[in-house]
Amino acid sequence: MNSQTLYHYSLYYWVKQLHQSPLDVSNSLCWEGVEKGSQTLDNERERVEAIVGEYGASRDSLISVLQDIQSALHYLPEHALRTVASQLSLPLIQVYGVATFFKAFSLKPRGEHIVNVCLGTACHVRGAPAVLDEVKRRLGIEPGETTEDMKFTLETVNCLGACALGPIVVIDGNYHGQMLLGKVKKVLREIERRTQRDETHE
């Protein structure tokens, strides 16, 4: 089949479908399937719309928009992706593809603090598995999971390129080198204390 017949083929189906059911590009499906308190959902929606509004309707800003939503909500909810797609007039699959491609984006809710334990070769021989076990025990979660209070998400990484400091634990972008079992306790407690302080201030 050459390109011209292919074109006719597609045109035929396009016209056929157009007659059968006019394309519905409205946003009716937008907020379905989200089980949450309506207040938090409204709050989330507002924040997402504010973020998308900041960038205008430029398609190039897709990743920036997603990054901002990710840092505001700690994850990318389905309704946010649908809003982004309709606002930037991109197909939803393109937004979804980008969101699933980069590890910085998460479709599952993530905790406030991301704990990254390095399991690279250098960290491994310096005792990273023991450190990981300790973090798992303290937080009560497996790698990839989030604590129930949505405070911590535990992740592992294969190498951070700072092998001299191994074993390394990165929490919210702060590198904690030469980790010991006792140090894990100290660092985690410090973060908990800081969040509590922030909460009481608020």
**What residues make contact with other proteins under the rule CB under 8 A?**
1-3, 6-7, 9-10, 13-14, 17, 23-25, 29, 78, 81, 91-97, 100-102
- The least distance separating other proteins from the CB of residue 177, rounded to whole angstroms, comes to 28
Report the residue number, 83 or 134, with the smaller CB distance to other proteins: 83
Nearest CB to other proteins, comparing residues 58 and 100 = 100
- What does DSSP say about strands 174-176 and 169-171: parallel, antiparallel, or unpaired? antiparallel
For residue 2, with 0-12 CB atoms within 10 Å meaning exposed, 13-18 middle and 19 or more buried, which class applies? exposed
Task: State the nearest-atom distance from the C-beta of 22 to other proteins, in Å.
Answer: 11
DSSP letter, residue 116: E
- Residue 87 CB, nearest distance to other proteins (Å)? 15
- From the CB of 169, what's the least distance to other proteins, in Å? 25
Q: Considering the complex, state which of residue 112 and residue 155 has its C-beta at the smaller distance from other proteins.
A: 155
Which of residues 92 and 114 has its CB atom nearest to other proteins in the complex?
92
72, 85, 69: which is closest to 29 by C-alpha?
85
Tell me whether residue 67 or residue 195 sits nearer to other proteins (CB atom): 67
DSSP of 27-77: STTTTTT--S-HHHHHHHHHHHHHHHHHTTT-GGGHHHHHHHHHHHHSS--
Question: Least CB distance from residue 3 to other proteins, whole Å?
Answer: 4
Question: Which three-class secondary structure state does DSSP give residue 78?
Answer: helix
Residue of 94, 98, 115 whose CA lies nearest to 106:
98
